[in-house]
Structure 1
Amino acid sequence: MSGGYGPTEPATKDIQDLCDQVKSKVQEITGKNYGEYTAFKFRSQVVAGTNYLIKVHVGDDYIHVIIFKDQGGEVALSDVNEGQTKVSPLEPF
């Protein structure tokens, strides 16, 4: 079923795997090299594939990333939002 983003949930190993697949692209966009890069929370949205909105812990800060996984399993980084905190809501950007 297509629609808006679902509820915020704790990150899983599968969510961390998605983050790991786009880490180099995230670092390229932000111009930063993240020693710590740990998925913390996420929300998902079913479209023609799935969008994942993920809060990632990167040292003393947090970033939000949107990752798209198509129905064939291909993964692509859609966007990055820096300057987040542990408590900032996971909202589409």
Structure 2
Amino acid sequence: RSMLMGGTNWLVKVNIGNDFIHLTINQVTGTQVNQPPTLTGLQQGHLPDDPLAPF
């Protein structure tokens, strides 16, 4: 994937009770007004040992 603007992407694993979800969060920077982080993806039903991978 390519981005036209600069920014930061995070992959996050979250433990919710007995379930794990993976989140993709993006923050665009390099513009006159830096944007707050934005949730751009969510996957449910992961196990504790599932690796984080871009989605």
TM-score, normalisation: structure 1: 0.47
Higher-strand-fraction structure: 2
Shift of 1:73: 4.4
For structure 2, the 5+ residue unaligned runs are: none
Structure 1 equivalent of residue 6 of structure 2: 48
Q: In angstroms, what is the RMSD of aligned CA positions? A: 1.4
Greater RCO, 1 or 2 (C-alpha within 8 Å, sep 6+): 2
Structure whose alpha-carbon radius of gyration is higher: 2
Task: Return structure 1 stretches of 4+ with deviation > 6 angstroms.
Answer: none
Aligned residues: 47
For structure 1, the 5+ residue unaligned runs are: 1-46
Higher-helix-fraction structure: 1
